[in-house]
Amino acid sequence: MTRILQIFFGTLAILLLGPSIISAQNTKTTDLEPGNYGFADNQTKNPEINAQWKKGDYPYPARPKDMWELGVNIGHSFVSGDVETELPASLGVGIHVRKAVNYLFSVRAGINYYSARGLDARPTSLSVFKREKTYSQNNLGARLGDVRTIHRNYKTKIWGGSIEGVLNIGNLLFHSPEPKWGLNMALGLGINAPQTTINIFDGNSNYNWSSATQGLDMSKKEDRKTARQNLRDMLDDSWETDGGEENTIRALGDDKTIYPTLKGGFGVTRKINDRFNIGLQHEIVFADNDLLDGFEYRTAVDRSANIDMLHYTSVTINFNLGSFNNRTQPLYWVNPMAPVMMDLAEVKSRPELDLTDTDGDGVIDMLDQEPDTPVGAPVDVRGVALDSDQDGVPDYMDKEPFSKPGFDVDADGVAIVPDQGYLTEDEINTLVNNKMSNLRMDWWLPMIHFDLNKYYVKPAYYGALLQVATVMKNQPDLKVVVQGYTDNRGSADYNRVLSYNRSKAVVDYLVDRYDIARERLIIQYGGEKNELVPELQDNYALDKREEMQQYLNRRVEFYVARPGDEPMEKPEGPEAGEGTPGSSRSGTKYSGNKNSGY
């Protein structure tokens, strides 16, 4: 028995320490609330179906993957038979595993060790004892001699195993998100291997049985108590005689030592947390065996009509094995109606539909996040006043509802744009007027500009060329000098060729588009001379302001021809420029506000 207790308490220590370590790393983190019913999708056998069910796209949830339960038990065991049981009798211990089949039914398999003792305070006559199998199978007649009475006693040790179906009635009560109490009924089959011994002899001698009851009245409770204590003092601990065996009982094996059993029980469990619960249970083990206590007769003619039954009342300590990352607690601790109840509660808590729109912005008060918007103010779908440029000033108060992004605004929502040093319109006009004042002009003719390293005529200047063509058609004797220029970047030879190409491209356009006689257009070029904006840097790493100034220098000017103006031949030098649209520089280039147009 000591060895069995050592094994039991060792197992109990492992169970107490093991789950605490596991639970430190795998604790339940989900809470029961609408849309979150105590288990995540990966805690189910079909996560995809469970996710669809939570969204309302599938009518049924996926079955959870639940944990196994491992439990140990310790308690009081005794035999209800023909011999008076000593109370408290003896100790029983066991271990079991349990797995839920569904929310109400589970299967439990276990192994138990039981012990039991009995001692009759009343004497039994030898005539009755002679009818017992214990007497005949052990050939006790010669040894008992002239003994006339004995006091029946026994000590039984039983190893047993069983498989039971357990019905959890406690999970039928749907009044809380998760049950805290379990009320269980169990029924199953098993086997028992009993070993019963009797203490009949005092070594090689007979006990003086009559001395235990001498002078006592066995009809009185106190005298029976005294007699029982006298017997305990008298008996040794030899238990030398084997109990009898019934040859006709239903048993397994030729030696009739293993018996099939029917096991039933009931109990109550209390959940401490999602990992641990304790319980109290009582079990009754039925076997076709009337010799668990070694005796089957009460008197010479009274054989007990009932088989001996093993009773076991125990405390159970149970642990749920597994990780909460991918498993739920056993299903008998899960309320299957929780999702339905939570959905019903959520539906009941919804406010009644009210179509009132106090501020008249088209968004009902139930959904309006700004229910006091001024009349006529534009709002978004939430009923909040629009702020298109996100400057903190709603559109109905904003004098500039589409301010340039990135700038601070004043109280009226107008962007405060600092001076970037760009040329103003007046400054550009002054530069042009100063330059033009030194030129010969009988007529006002426009000039056109070109992209970097290009002689392509941009459509933006088609209107200016129309003006030149109109003047020349209205004055059929008029000749016009077409003078091309570049900026100061590149070699002088290259720029002379490029300025020539620009003049020629304009002449070709006027001849082809407006049928102007080519001899009326005099091509001249000036390369990088006569800059409108002088003294610019000769490199390409310029800021936007300097690049715009270079753009002014890349141009073709028109003058009314005077006597002595002759066309210039194409200069010597490398091929220069491209007659295609767009900038010759790589990268994205735009001008303007990307929120308002380029």
CA nearest 281: which of 167, 163, 184? 184
- How do residues 317-327 score in pLDDT, each as one tens digit? 999 999 988 89
CA nearest 32: which of 343, 373, 375? 343
Residues 157 and 47 in one domain: no
Residue 33 has pLDDT above 60, yes or no: no
With H, G, I as helix, E, B as strand and everything else as coil, classify residue 208.
Answer: coil
Task: List, in order, residues 6 or more apart from 427 with CB less than 8 Å away.
Answer: none
Residue 590 has pLDDT above 80, yes or no: no
Return the HEC string of 39-59.
CCHHHECCHHHHHHHHHCCCC
Choose one of 277, 300, 333: the last residue of a domain.
Answer: 333
User: How far are the Cα atoms of 290, 533, 560 from residue 285, in angstroms, in the given order?
Assistant: 13, 113, 128
| Pairwise CA distance, residues 483 & 506, whole Å | 10
- How do residues 449-506 score in pLDDT, each as one tens digit? 999 999 999 999 999 999 999 999 999 999 999 999 999 998 999 999 999 999 999 9
With H, G, I as helix, E, B as strand and everything else as coil, classify residue 497.
Answer: helix
**283, burial (CB in 10 Å: exposed 0-12, middle 13-18, buried 19+):** buried
What pLDDT shows up at residue 58?
84
User: Per the structure, how many domains does the chain have?
Assistant: 3
For residue 56, the enclosing domain spans 32-64+334-350
CA nearest 482: which of 528, 513, 430, 518? 518
Whether residue 257 is contained in a domain is answered as yes
Residues 60 and 142 in one domain: no
Question: Is-contact 564 536, C-beta < 8 A?
Answer: no
Q: Which amino acid is at 286?
A: F
Average pLDDT of span 329-342? 82
Q: Which two tokens stand for residue 391?
A: 């400057």
Question: Is-contact 503 518, C-beta < 8 A?
Answer: no
What pLDDT shows up at residue 189?
97
Residues 48 and 131 in one domain: no
Residues 121 and 261 in one domain: yes
Whether residue 368 is contained in a domain is answered as no
Question: Is-contact 531 451, C-beta < 8 A?
Answer: no
Question: Is-contact 137 245, C-beta < 8 A?
Answer: yes
What pLDDT shows up at residue 392?
80
| Pairwise CA distance, residues 22 & 325, whole Å | 11
What pLDDT shows up at residue 52?
82
Residues 251 and 150 in one domain: yes
Whether residue 21 is contained in a domain is answered as yes
| Pairwise CA distance, residues 18 & 14, whole Å | 6
Whether residue 575 is contained in a domain is answered as no
Whether residue 276 is contained in a domain is answered as yes
Choose one of 306, 325, 350: the last residue of a domain.
Answer: 350
Residues 214 and 246 in one domain: yes
pLDDT band at 568 (very low <50, low <70, confident <90, very high): very high
Whether residue 169 is contained in a domain is answered as yes
Average pLDDT of span 205-209? 92
Residues 533 and 479 in one domain: yes
Task: List, in order, residues 6 or more apart from 3 with CB less than 8 Å away.
Answer: none
Question: Is-contact 188 328, C-beta < 8 A?
Answer: no
Return the HEC string of 241-268.
EECCCCCCCCCECCCCCEEEEEEEEEEE
What pLDDT shows up at residue 289?
86
What is the number of other CB atoms lying within 10 angstroms of the CB of residue 12?
15
pLDDT: is 540 or 16 the higher one?
Answer: 540
Q: Which two tokens stand for residue 528?
A: 């990088």
CA nearest 169: which of 187, 182, 160? 182
What pLDDT shows up at residue 437?
62
Whether residue 582 is contained in a domain is answered as no
Residues 59 and 125 in one domain: no
For the chain, helix (H) and strand (E) counts, in that order, are 11, 19
Whether residue 320 is contained in a domain is answered as yes
Average pLDDT of span 308-316? 95
Q: Which amino acid is at 207?
A: Y
Cis check for the bond before 123: say yes or no (omega within 30 of 0). Answer: no
Residue 242 belongs to domain with CATH number: 2.40.160.20
- How do residues 73-98 score in pLDDT, each as one tens digit? 999 999 998 898 988 768 999 999 99
- How do residues 240-282 score in pLDDT, each as one tens digit? 999 888 776 767 766 667 889 999 999 999 999 999 999 999 9
Q: Model-level pTM?
A: 0.56
Choose one of 333, 361, 385: the last residue of a domain.
Answer: 333
Residue 531 belongs to domain with CATH number: 3.30.1330.60
pLDDT band at 186 (very low <50, low <70, confident <90, very high): very high
Question: Cα angle vertex 136, ends 130, 137, to 5°?
Answer: 150
Residues 203 and 263 in one domain: yes
Residues 287 and 156 in one domain: yes
Residues 443 and 491 in one domain: yes
Residues 41 and 105 in one domain: no
Q: Which two tokens stand for residue 123?
A: 């004497």
- How do residues 408-423 score in pLDDT, each as one tens digit? 878 877 877 777 777 7
